[in-house]
Amino acid sequence: MCLQAKRLLLVEDEPLLLLSLQEGLSELGCSVVAAECRLPGAIESASRLDFDAALLDISIAGESVGPVALALEERGIPFVFATGYETHPVVDAFPAAAHLRKPYLLETVEQALNEVLAQREGL
């Protein structure tokens, strides 16, 4: 599977990492529909925008990304958690969700997103 032409939501509170992800995913042919660095905007985007998958930092400015994951799950939109934590209650609350350990490479982000999109499409 290829990420070419896939639309993504990014939720990350580290500005440099967010910018790097946007640039890297753009190079892979993705379009970033929204890049959110605060929880209220992330919840709004997850609830209303049209996109194929999301990459979610586990903790946004000290707040759990759980409400965003719940909104995505309710809409049937696949997502990948990104975390520097060994364990986290949000990951435990969504055991079927894919997750990446920080720091990560663009290749691992690409692989994780391809996996969740393939599962969604039944491949």
Q: pLDDT tens digits, residue range 51-109?
A: 999 999 999 999 999 999 999 999 999 999 998 776 778 888 888 888 898 889 999 99
Read off the pTM. 0.93
- Bridge partners (DSSP) listed for residue 122: none
Q: pLDDT tens digits, residue range 15-58?
A: 999 999 999 999 999 999 999 999 999 999 999 999 999 999 99
The pLDDT value recorded for residue 48 is 97
How deeply is 81 buried, as exposed, middle or buried, from its count of CB atoms within 10 A (0-12, 13-18, 19+)?
buried
- Bridge partners (DSSP) listed for residue 64: 59
Quick check: 123 pLDDT over 60?
no
